[in-house]
Structure 1
Amino acid sequence: MSVRTYPDQTRFSLREGVTCLTVPTGAVLLNPPHKEKLTGLGAAQLHALKTLNRGPSTLGEMTPQDGAEVGELLDRLTDEGWLAVTVRDGGRNLYSIRPFTKPPGRPASPLPWSATLSKFAVLHRDSDGFVLEHPMSWCDVRIHDPRLLALLDGLGAGDVALPIGIKTQLAADLHWCGFLVADPFDEEREFTGRSWSAPDLWFHRRSTLGARTITWEHFGPTKWAKGSFQQPPARRPDYPGEPVPLRVPDLAALRANDPSLSTVIEDRYSCRAFDDTHPITRDQLAELLFRTARTRGVRSAGEGEELASRPYPSGGSVYELELYPIVRHVDGLAPGMYHYDSFDHVLRPVADADSAAVQRLVRSTSATLANGAEPQVVIVMAARVGRVMWTYEQVAYASILKHVGVLMQNVYLAGAAMGLGVCAQGFSDTSAFVEAAGVDELQECNVGSIIVGSPAAH
């Protein structure tokens, strides 16, 4: 398909991040780490590139002389992903194709008008309007005109007041961009298509380096919020109420008497049956929390920036995770939901054991344990997400989940050393946590949970 098939009002522009350097006989396109030399260019083509350097332009605005020669150049640059394309009609922007890598060749034949969006396509808003994304695409499609949104549910929509040529062009472009499937069931017939959900695949591609993200700009530990927002402090505000003191274990004795690392790694298992006649004790829970999650110190990393230290690794030393033990049956400790104050090594009461939200959190563990039993203790892991999101772009939530994994392993290994039973959960009730803890989910949310107690004989 030639760019000359686009409506006359269509504007072309260098894609975001691209610089074009022209010399009398050619040009260089730069988008580090990629570059391309253009040689043997005619006067009309050089004029077109200089026009593109000044901003978005139509084919007519770039072709004072040889339109065919300029069209050939634009075809080449578009097919190699150097140009963004904005389709217009009646003086209005309709949609833009915004590449971030080289596209595949254009499809040899069009899809039928009954074609629909892929199940992996994601439509969302940002500060500039609607964006259509596909995790496996080479570009994003920005929807400028809301009339086009109706076409996304079926390109044959008859009540959309747009010329048939625009609808046909949109269908061709969405096909080329990889957003359409001829039959929605096609993606479900193979295991790979059926097994991936749209949120999982989108999250995977948006939180990793790849075709979309090849530099550290707006990715990783950029500290984008520094100077604009205060970093959430290392220590969360205390819950009111009388704290429950916890015994501090003797670390020197533990170093001397603990089983070896190889032993606890090999002996670790997920315990699903617990001995309620001899439950875990308050001192054992205190030791487990101290060994795995206490705050060992806080240091300044500059004005208004605090970094912490705990017994497990955390990206950027931000340590956003908070532990909320929900006690059902612990020797020496009243039932209820507590917050573990890792700074003072105390438990602070949060909610009553019989509150509806706490009961929902406890019941969510029944599928994990043998015979639908209830846990002696379930430790809910929450994240004060701002601690991570203040520093990291795009990878913040992915980093939080990695931190959950390393903390879970800490609990497993310390539990094995102490002779406790431990079983991590792959899910929890996020809404119940928000209700029980009385928090704003966008500031602190449930990201994991792990069951501990005295194991039954096995």
Structure 2
Amino acid sequence: MTNPSPAVEPQTVYTLTHGARCLLGGNGVAVLLPAKQRLDGLSPRQITLLRTLNSGPLHVNDETDPDTSDLLDRLIDAGVVTMIVSVGARELYSLRPFRRPPTSRPTARPDSFELSRFTVVRRNGTDVVAENPRSWCDVVVHDPEVLATLTGLASTLPAVVRDRLSADLAWSGHAVGAGTEEHDFATRSWSPHELWFHRRSTVGDRGTSWAHFGPTRWADGEFEPLPARRERYDGEPVALPTPDLEALRRDDRPLTAVVEDRKSVRDFDDRHPMSAAQLGELLHRCARTRGVRTTNANRSVPEELPSRPFPSGGSLYELEVYAVVRTADGIAPGMYHYDSFDHMLRPVAPYDDPAVRRLIAPASLTLADGQLPQVLLVLAARPGRIMWTYEQMPYAVILKHVGVLTQTLYLTSTAMGLGGVAQGYGDTAAFAEATGADELVECNVGSFVVGTPRQ
């Protein structure tokens, strides 16, 4: 068999990953930063190679000496080197680790494989990157023929290069055995977007440095923070009665009673709909703005931190409440925004608006006999309120806030003798159409049906 021509034989160049460095000591010792991993028993040849890596790329032949092979294995195992695969001067792709690989780099391609259903190819800055939440590295694509091969399109890459790429994709977890992800329950049960959301919104391989994760205030100095109060809707507002909180402190049902009696109510009595006073009490007790604290008041747009009855990360309170009223004594049917600052309902759209009808219709799927809600409370988020401060995790935090507000609505409804049930979904497109809001600026993130329960 004829050996492949050196002109098409893939080669690997090694560079330290971003932020990594080798601290060289005496007696054959080095420490890898930022992992603070110690390497002992290094030969003079290996120390020389580490000095080369500290100053730039390390070029090695495929037929490397034992010292070089041993050092590269240790560096790869530590997850501190990026491997750039090329043919001559033509860079093809890079394996860019964010943690250590589980095995040594294979020399042969797998017999049967396919691209993982969790791999996503996207632009990241100036790079085209294949990412996978189950992988230990990203694959950075430098050559369009690699992209074609990766996505299953026709490719003119030499077979020896395709074999090297296939072996690396399998090693990195971007390629899996044909059919394995469909036949294994653990991988079949996770939707790609849900696994991505889970891994990228929590601390882990990509978030351990906190460089671009958590309350980094990344937008400060580039964008102004959003005000705590949403821009008012036009139209004549509906003033809501304010409950007597002192009387409620004295006479309300005990917490243990409402927690134990809480249940999802799906059957409502339209002959006795809830009243404006009841809706006002529910919203006042659950979602009113009790006050606003201002920080950095000397800037052009100060940072405003409200206080409401339910908790919110950073006191940012990005959630808004909309009431879609079908029947309630003292309130005309329609869609309203709850102005939590002035404790009133501001008209958004008439009840017979097609978008409002689409917004409320899915709720009947979870109610008895297909009935429509007396009142549907739509929970919306102004993501910019929280995304100005937090990176990667804000949408996950928004959903946590939806959960705590939903439980507050449940318990308060129970204490008031009302019935309520949370909805597991909502029509985001209908909400955007009814409100006229850009989904990136304000979006539907939850809903809660409330009314008078049928006895």
Alignment of 1:268-287 (within 5 A): 268-287=262-281
Give ranges in structure 1 of 5+ residues lacking alignment: 1-5
Question: Which residue of structure 2 lines up, in the alignment, with residue 3 of structure 1?
Answer: none
> 2:3 maps to what in 1?
none
C-alpha separation between the residues in 1 aligned to 2:325 and 2:201? 35
* 1:115 Cα deviation from its structure 2 partner: 1.6
Does the C-alpha gap of structure 1 residues 187 and 123 become closer, same or farther in structure 2, counting only changes over 3 Å?
Answer: same
- Separation (CA, whole Å) in 1 of partners of 2:17 and 2:106: 25
Name the counterpart of 1:196: 190
Match of 2:407 in 1: 409
The Cα shift of 1:267 comes to 0.7
Contact conserved, 1:7 with 1:87, CA < 8 A, in 2? no
CA shift, 1:113, in A, is: 5.7
What is the alpha-carbon distance in structure 2 between the residues aligned to residue 205 and residue 360 of structure 1? Answer: 33
1:55-454 equivalences under 5 Å are: 55-59=56-60, 67-106=65-104, 110=108, 112=110, 114-154=112-152, 159-184=154-179, 186-302=180-296, 303=299, 304-454=302-452
Task: After TM superposition, give the deviation of residue 122 of structure 1 in Å.
Answer: 1.9
Instruction: Tell me by how many angstroms 1:52 deviates.
Output: 0.9
Deviates more, 1:208-217 or 1:368-377: 208-217
Letter matched to residue 453 of structure 1: G
Letter in 1 for 2:40: T
Q: State the one-letter code of the partner of 2:240.
A: L
Which residue identity lines up with residue 378 of structure 2 in the other structure? Answer: V
Q: Is the 2:73–2:104 Cα contact (8 Å) retained in structure 1? A: no
CA contact (8 A) 1:15 1:83 kept: yes
Q: Shift of the alpha carbon at 1:7? A: 5.3
Task: Look up the SS of the partner of 1:10 in the other structure.
Answer: strand
* Alignment partners' CA distance in 2, 1:313 and 1:248: 21
| 1:38-49 → structure 2 map (5 Å cutoff) | 38-49=39-50
User: What is the alpha-carbon distance in structure 2 between the residues aligned to residue 313 and residue 129 of structure 1?
Assistant: 39
Cα distance in 1, alignment partners of residues 111 and 436 from structure 2: 50
Match of 2:36, SS state, is: strand
Change beyond 3 A, Cα 1:142–1:107: closer
Structure 2's unaligned 5+ residue stretches are 1-7
Q: What letter matches 1:169 in structure 2? A: R
Helix, strand or coil for the counterpart of 2:155? coil
Residue by residue, what CA displacement relative to the aligned partner does 1:354-408 show, whole Å, maximum 9, x if unpaired?
A: 1111000111111111111100011111100001101111110000000000000
Taking the aligned partners of 1:59 and 1:301, their CA distance within structure 2 comes to 56
Report the residue type matching 2:286 in the other structure.
T
Q: Distance in 2 between matches of 1:383 and 1:146?
A: 40
TM-score, length-normalised on structure 1? 0.92
In structure 2, distance between residues paired with 1:110 and 1:49 = 28
- Closer/same/farther in 2, CA of residues 107 and 36 from structure 1, 3 Å limit: closer
- What's the CA shift string for 1:115-174, capped at 9, x where partnerless? 2111122222221222211112111111222322221234xx5x3122222211110111
Moved more, 51-60 or 259-268: 51-60
Per the alignment, in what secondary structure is the counterpart of residue 149 of structure 1?
helix
C-alpha distance in structure 2 between counterparts of 1:426 and 1:363, whole Å? 14
Q: One-letter code of the match for 2:19?
A: G
Instruction: Give secondary structure in 2 for the equivalent of 1:406.
Output: helix
Does structure 2 conserve the Cα–Cα contact (< 8 Å) formed by 1:110 and 1:175? no
One-letter amino acid of the structure 1 residue matched with residue 452 of structure 2: S
CA distance in 1, matches of 2:169, 2:159: 15
Q: Percent identity?
A: 54
Greater CA deviation, 11-20 or 343-352? 11-20
What is the one-letter code of the residue matched to 1:280?
M
Cα distance in 1 for residues equivalent to 2:268 and 2:109: 58
**Given residue 168 of structure 2, which amino acid in structure 1 is its aligned partner?**
D
1:308–1:259 distance in 2 versus 1, CA, 3 Å? same
Report deviation, 1:68. Answer: 4.4
For residues 188-237 of structure 1, the C-alpha deviation after alignment (integer angstroms, 9 at most, x for no partner) is 22322221111111111111112332232211111111111101111111
- The whole-number CA distance in structure 2 between the counterparts of 1:310 and 1:394 is 25
2:37 matched residue in structure 1 = 36
Q: How far apart in 2 are the matches of 1:339 and 1:92?
A: 58
Distance 1:213 1:167 in 2: 32
Distance in 1 (CA, whole Å) between partners of 2:335 and 2:245 is 27
The answer to whether the 8 Å contact 2:286/2:405 transfers is yes
CA contact (8 A) 1:292 1:311 kept: yes
Tell me which amino acid in the other structure corresponds to 1:289: L
CA drift at 1:109: 8.3
The TM-score normalised by the length of structure 2 is 0.93
Contact 1:28/1:35 (CA < 8 Å) preserved in 2? no
Could you tell me whether the CA contact under 8 Å between 2:96 and 2:137 is conserved in 1? yes
Shift of 1:111: 5.5
Conserved in 2, the CA contact under 8 Å of 1:365 and 1:374? yes
Which whole-Å deviations, capped at 9, do the CAs of 1:335-356 have from their partners, x for residues lacking one? 1110001011111100111111
C-alpha displacement of 1:37: 1.9
Structure 1 Cα separation of the partners of residues 70 and 453 of structure 2: 73
